[in-house]
């Protein structure tokens, strides 16, 4: 008998769908570091909720939202999926070695730099920036065909400066590039303090010491996202929610005895 899939099964299925295209040619698949599908599903849920509320304002009708992590996982692979629909080619893991040499990561004299010159105009700016205008291509097919030679040339060039130096150099010339940073280095960027992307609590029930959480990646001209209270402890509102759903004290006690809450 085929059992019904649980929500957890779908979580694993969603994650494994992305894993097929992660890692390198030698080592794959590899699970990505952060639970991206979980985060993306929450974001998609908020978008769906806002859309439903907007629709209600226009039509006066409420809405039922049906959202699955598996579908979100597939949407995160939109470019790979579109390619598969077109030519039935399975996406392959590339690691830091992306299809275009000018859109890949390289070891510098100190640290690693990620170059994001993905389109035709960006790759032209990149080659001019490193004084190799002779390597500029006019179409993506030529870039793919010459990828290995380009990568060898770029690798040698990038080794001549530190990742910090290359970041400043490329960005000043409108070439997307950045040094690969640790979490501590990323959080120390003054950009975040200016935009107030994080919120810190001096004290939180159930936790010793201060606590920091992400706030929002967007800002409004007025109002906007804010956090007024720290996260509630696990189960703090379970009884109130169950009572709101109509369960009696005896039923709730039964749930607790059965360890169902």
| Number of independent structural domains in the chain | 2
* Residue pLDDT, tens place only, 238-247: 999 999 999 9
Does residue 206 fall inside a structural domain?
Answer: no
Among 53, 87, 121, identify where a domain stops: 87
**Domain around 116:** 101-180
Does residue 192 fall inside a structural domain?
Answer: no
Judge whether residue 158 has pLDDT over 60. yes
> Are residues 105 and 80 both part of a single domain?
no
Judge whether residue 5 has pLDDT over 70. no
Lowest mean pLDDT across 6-20, 58-72, 113-127 = 6-20
- Which pLDDT band, with edges at 50, 70 and 90, does 6 fall under? low
Residue range 86-102: mean pLDDT, rounded:
87
In the numeric block, which tokens belong to residue 48? 């769906």
For residue 43, the model assigns a pLDDT of 93
> Are residues 169 and 113 both part of a single domain?
yes
> Are residues 107 and 150 both part of a single domain?
yes
CATH of residue 154: 3.30.1540.10
Judge whether residue 157 has pLDDT over 60. yes
> Are residues 176 and 112 both part of a single domain?
yes
> Are residues 105 and 142 both part of a single domain?
yes
> Are residues 107 and 163 both part of a single domain?
yes
């Amino acid at each position: 008998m085929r059992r019904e899939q649980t929500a957890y099964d779908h979580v694993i299925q969603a994650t494994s769908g992305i894993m097929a295209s992660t890692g390198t040619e030698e080592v794959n698949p590899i699970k990505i570091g952060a639970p991206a599908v979980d985060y993306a599903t929450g974001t998609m849920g908020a978008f769906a909720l806002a859309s439903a509320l907007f629709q209600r304002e226009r039509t006066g009708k409420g809405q039922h939202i049906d959202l699955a992590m598996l579908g979100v996982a597939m949407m995160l692979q939109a470019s790979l999926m579109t390619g598969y629909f077109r030519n039935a080619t399975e996406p392959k893991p590339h690691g830091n070695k992306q299809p275009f040499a000018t859109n890949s990561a390289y070891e510098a004299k100190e640290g690693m730099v990620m170059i994001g010159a993905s389109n035709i105009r960006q790759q032209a700016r990149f080659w001019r920036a490193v004084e190799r205008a002779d390597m500029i291509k006019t179409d993506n097919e030529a870039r793919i065909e010459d990828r290995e030679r380009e990568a060898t040339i770029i690798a040698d060039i990038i080794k001549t400066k530190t990742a910090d130096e290359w970041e400043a150099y490329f960005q000043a010339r409108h070439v997307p590039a950045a040094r690969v940073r640790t979490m501590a280095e990323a959080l120390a960027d003054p950009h975040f303090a200016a935009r107030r992307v994080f919120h810190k609590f001096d004290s939180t029930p159930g936790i010793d010491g201060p606590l920091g959480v992400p706030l929002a990646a967007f800002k409004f001209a007025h109002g906007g996202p804010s956090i007024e209270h720290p996260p509630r402890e696990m189960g703090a509102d379970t009884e109130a929610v169950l009572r709101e759903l109509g369960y009696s004290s005896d039923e709730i006690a039964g749930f607790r005895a059965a360890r169902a809450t």
